[in-house]
Amino acid sequence: GESVGLHLPTLSVQEGDNSIINCAYSNSASDYFIWYKQESGKGPQFIIDIRSNMDKRQGQRVTVLLNKTVKHLSLQIAATQPGDSAVYFCAERNYGGSQGNLIFGKGTKLSVKP
């Protein structure tokens, strides 16, 4: 079946370094992708999104890259800070099915070392 997954379940980086979190998706018909951040004790929060007609989108300290050829999504965080420590989820929009329109990956935990 269709799935969204992550290459690395945990990632540990030094404060100030750049972080890259990866996500693989399997549905070539997905047209919209989102990255969410979930801090401990909180619900997921929208970080950045990208449509399938784009290959790169930048926000404040974050960049999302989309490679449709290999069905790969990545989130880059520049100058990682302790406040970036959280679990990061990718999600793809794929209409219909029992998973609803938005299908979530399993998450990557990012730990930032001071």
Partner 1 sequence: DADVTQTPRNRITKTGKRIMLECSQTKGHDRMYWYRQDPGLGLRLIYYSFDVKDINKGEISDGYSVSRQAQAKFSLSLESAIPNQTALYFCATSDVDTEDLYGYTFGSGTRLTVV
Judged by the rule CB under 8 A, the positions of this chain that interact with partner 1 are 9, 32, 34, 36, 41-46, 49, 51, 89, 91, 93, 98-102, 104-107
Give the chain's length.
114
Report in angstroms the alpha-carbon separations of 39 from 87, 90, 105: 6, 15, 16
CB 27, min distance to partner 1, A: 15
Which residues lie closer than 8 Å to 28 by C-beta, 6 or more apart?
A: 68, 71
Q: Which is nearer to partner 1, 28 or 99 (CB)?
A: 99
Q: Which is nearer to partner 1, 106 or 113 (CB)?
A: 106
CB 85, min distance to partner 1, A: 17
User: What are 8's strand-pairing partners?
Assistant: none
Of 90, 92, 71, 68, nearest in space to 20 by CA: 90
Q: Which is nearer to partner 1, 25 or 89 (CB)?
A: 89
CB 17, min distance to partner 1, A: 26
